[in-house]
Structure 1
Amino acid sequence: MGIYLDNAATTAQKPAVVAEAVTEILTGEYGNPSRGAHGYSLAGFRVAEKARNQVKELFNADQRYEVAFTNNATVSLNEVLKGLIHAGDHVLTTSWEHNSVLRPLYQLEEQGASFDVVSSEAVTGRLNYQEFAEKVRPETKAVICNHASNVTGNLLDLEWVKDFCAEQELYLIIDASQTAGVVPINLSDGKIEALCFTGHKSLYGPQGTGGVCLLKDLPVEPVITGGDGMQSFSKVQPKNLPTLLEAGTLNIPGIAGLSASIQWLMEKEPAEKLGTYFYQELQKIAGVTIYGDFTNPRVDVFSINIKDAESAIVSDLLWEEYQVATRPGYHCAPLMHEALGTADRGTVRLSFSSFTTKAEVDTVLAALQNLALR
Structure 2
Amino acid sequence: MSGIRSFGAPLSERLPRVEIDRAALAGNWQRLAAHTPGARTGAAVKADGYGLGAAEVARTLHDAGCRDFFVAWAEEGAVLRETLGGPDTRIMVLQGLDSSAAALCRETRLSPVLSTPDDIAVWREAGAAPAPAFIQLETGMNRLGLGETDARAAATLAASGALSVTCVMSHLASADEASEQSREQRTVFERVAGLFPGVPRSLANSAGILLGPEFHYDLTRPGIALYGGTCEALEGLRPVATLTAAILQIRMARCGEAAGYGAAAPLARDTRIATVGLGYADGFLRAGSGAGVAIWPGRSVPTAFLGGRAVPILGRISMDLILLDITDLPADAVRPGDRAEFYGKNVPIEQVAAAAGTIPYELLTGLGPRVARDWR
Structure number with higher strand proportion? 2
**Higher relative contact order (CA closer than 8 Å, sequence separation 6+):** 1
Structure number with higher helix proportion? 1
Settle same-fold status: TM greater than 0.5.
no
TM-score of the superposed pair, with normalisation by structure 2:
0.29
TM-score of the superposed pair, with normalisation by structure 1:
0.30
